[in-house]
Amino acid sequence: MQIIIVGCGNVGFALVQQLSSEGHNITVIEEKSSVVQNAVNSLDVMGIVGNGASYSIMKDAGIESADLMIAVTDSDELNLLCCLIAKKAGNCHTIARVRNPVYKKEINFIKEELGLSMVINPEEAAASECERLLKLPSATKIETFARGRTELVKLVIDEHSRLCDLALKDIPPDLKKHVVIAVVNRNSDVYIPDGSFIIRSGDEITIIGASKNIMSFFRKLGLPTARVHSTIIIGGGETGVYLAMQLITLGIDVTIFEKDAARCKELTDILPQALIINGDGTDKDMLMEEGVTRTDSFVALTNLDEENIMLSMYVKSINPRAKILTKVHRVNYGDIIGSLGIGSIIYPKNITAERIVQFVRGMSASQESNIETLYKLNDGMVEALEFIVRSGSPVIGVPLAKLKLKKGILIACINHYGEIISPSGESIIRDRDAVIVVTTLGGLKDINDILA
């Protein structure tokens, strides 16, 4: 597809990187010439220096023949204006990043009146990710397929786990019957395991299955499946507000630490059911006084990555049973943070880019591929893709054990008209089934691409 991206900050660059690697023709519009030059030099894209809300700049970028325009600058109003101009000039699909909560109540009106295909709020998306993790605190990451019927869940194996030191083929049938262990991450190495693979303490495994079966799997491992009852949030920004709203509706007790007194007053009005503390979250005495050693969960959402990381490490040391969530903006911290064992890391910019990329893949599905959903896992080393099987595909009607698959391919789940199947060698794919494939290979666009 022909795609124009306005704004090449962290989110924009992540989008350009991902979408260009998937074969789309990308043109970047950005006011900073050095940023444009970096994108053009490092990626196979076109670049234009200028204001994306300018009709002439849009024309130079090829808006009249574009399939999609994505506006992800730091200004909500500029993003919306870019979408309006793109819609009028090219009648293409448009996506806007909109962060101001003032627009939240009006977002459906804005979408309809401006003809937007999608609006993404980074803070709200990050809060939703936090909420999912707090509802299943044993997990380190949760994603959904099949419109929520199937879940992809990560968890870390400890030495007391029933799975520890077992080969996959030796896992008791009551455990592995309805879920698939699709990926194992060990010391930065990633494996798509076969039956002889032995799970060790410290491994982070990715399981895929129906939501109810995931819960049953966790219970049989002796892991908590109930959501947390209390949480302490450090930082009263928009992500904290969205998260608090979601948790309060679930009946979870929320305490928010915020340094700015004026902001505390606003928070008290917005969140009357939350306990708002005007104080510094790095004040250990204040944290102790407000029950940090007793809380079920702790969420560090300040604007300073280093502060969030240090706070999470401290709370983990004094309350090891608490579920810890840490917001981090700099994605190049990934390897360092992963070794600290501080729980789940929330990358707002990655979450935003992923949601947009998923939408783009949905558009592509109707054109040159049949990918319904795609997630990048383990720092991009693994992909989990959901394909819709079309009639005439050679994978239809053949037992999985007899399909000749490429190396690095695992069929993890089959959705047959709402029936979620964790497949065995005897399972058969039918026409119009949704099939989830996990792979270390890149560039798969069709279910037929899994065949050797």
The CATH number covering residue 94 comes to: 3.40.50.720
End-to-end CA distance of the chain: 27
Tell me the mean pLDDT in the region 286-293.
Answer: 92
pLDDT for residue 368 is more than 60: no
Q: Is residue 225 domain-resident?
A: no
Which of 220, 250, 282 is where one domain is finished? 220
Domain of 294, in residue numbers: 230-346
Q: Is residue 182 domain-resident?
A: yes
Same domain, 87 and 143: no
Can you give the CATH number for the domain in which 140 is found? 3.30.70.1450
pTM of the model: 0.79
φ and ψ at 141, to 5 degrees?
Answer: -160, 145
Domain count, the chain: 4
Same domain, 253 and 161: no
Same domain, 212 and 240: no
Same domain, 62 and 132: no
**Predicted local distance difference test score (pLDDT) of residue 29:** 95
pLDDT: is 241 or 90 the higher one?
A: 241
Q: Is residue 163 domain-resident?
A: yes
Same domain, 50 and 138: no
Is the Cβ–Cβ distance between 301 and 234 less than 8 Å?
yes
Distance CA 213, CA 311 (A): 34
Tell me the mean pLDDT in the region 370-397.
Answer: 81
pLDDT band at 334 (very low <50, low <70, confident <90, very high): low
CB atoms within 10 A of CB 291: 13
Q: Is residue 8 domain-resident?
A: yes
Same domain, 116 and 138: no
Q: Is residue 202 domain-resident?
A: yes
Tell me the mean pLDDT in the region 169-178.
Answer: 83
Q: How are beta strands 25-30 and 46-49 bridged, if at all?
A: parallel
pLDDT for residue 357 is more than 90: no
DSSP one-letter code for 70: E
SS3 328: coil
**Predicted local distance difference test score (pLDDT) of residue 365:** 57
Same domain, 188 and 211: yes
Same domain, 61 and 81: yes
Same domain, 150 and 255: no
**Predicted local distance difference test score (pLDDT) of residue 147:** 67
Same domain, 241 and 338: yes
pLDDT for residue 178 is more than 90: no
Alpha helices in 319-437 (DSSP H): 334-338, 348-365
The pair of structure tokens assigned to 323 is 């579920």
Q: Is residue 204 domain-resident?
A: yes
DSSP percent split of the chain into helix, strand, coil, nearest 5:
40, 25, 35
What is the average pLDDT score of the chain?
Answer: 87
Q: Is residue 351 domain-resident?
A: no
pLDDT for residue 132 is more than 60: yes
Same domain, 94 and 143: no
Same domain, 342 and 291: yes
Is the Cβ–Cβ distance between 299 and 243 less than 8 Å?
yes
DSSP string for residues in 140-175: SEEEEEGGGTEEEEEEE--TTSTTTT-BGGGS-HHH
